[in-house]
Amino acid sequence: MSRRFLLAAWLAFSAVGSAEAAEPRWLVEAPTAGVPEHQAQILEVTGSSGRGLIVGYGFGFWNRFFAGASYGGYQLVGEGDTDWNPDPGVSVKLRLLGETFSRPAFTIGFRTQGYGPYDGTLERYMTKSLGVYVVFSRNYRHAMGESGVHFGLNRSLENGDGDDTLTGFVGSDWEIGRRVAIVGEYHFAFNDDRGSAVGRGRGYLNTGIRVWVTRQLAVRFDLRDILDNNPAVQTPKTIRVEWLR
């Protein structure tokens, strides 16, 4: 347990500064309080080292609300039958409080898209979807650009493994110039260490790098489950392409 909180503290305090700034909508799997601008359209394509592919599309409304959907599967390339996800993923976010000098931004949301193959017996993804969540975000300026720290709580609806514990996450993003950002996050995964859960009680540590190729096109490279919490899968690698209009 103490190791989980040490990891959380390292991520939470890895960004320092004294001003408010812009923020991403997601780190790797952890959300931030950020939402797209009004009428923004976002197309995301995520490929993984496990021959998986997920395509997502969403809209921003009123600078406070985001709604999107996604769908995909595994074994899309090579031999064997394709393992399609059972249902499309749904993602909504509502920013209730904007950031001020004295308080962080606050957003509530709901997400049913998990990561990895879907286990029909346990009724869950390899990494459970967030389900219902709340997240606080605080942004800063520093010599190299902007950064943010993010903390949230969530309860997944994927409880077929007998573990539906309330859990949480913490993360940060750090810009290096205006085109590159490093992101990191730690999921406590208290809902993935009991019953028939696949986790080993270490939590999920993910990191990645995001590169803005143009003002509308970003490419991100991620490493997931660095702590090897899921013994059945080696550290997965993903690439995500995001187009913003």
For the stretch 131-178, pLDDT in tens is 999 999 999 988 888 899 999 999 999 988 888 899 999 999 999 988
| 6 compared with 129, residue with greater pLDDT | 129
pTM: 0.85
DSSP E strands: which ranges in the chain? 41-48, 53-61, 65-74, 83-84, 89-97, 105-111, 115-119, 124-127, 131-142, 145-155, 167-176, 180-187, 204-212, 217-223, 237-244
- Number of domains composing the chain: 1
Using the structure block, give the residue that is written with the tokens 């803005």.
Answer: 212
CATH of residue 46's domain is 2.40.160.40
* Least-confidence region, from 49-58, 90-99, 143-152: 49-58
Residue 87 structural domain:
2-244
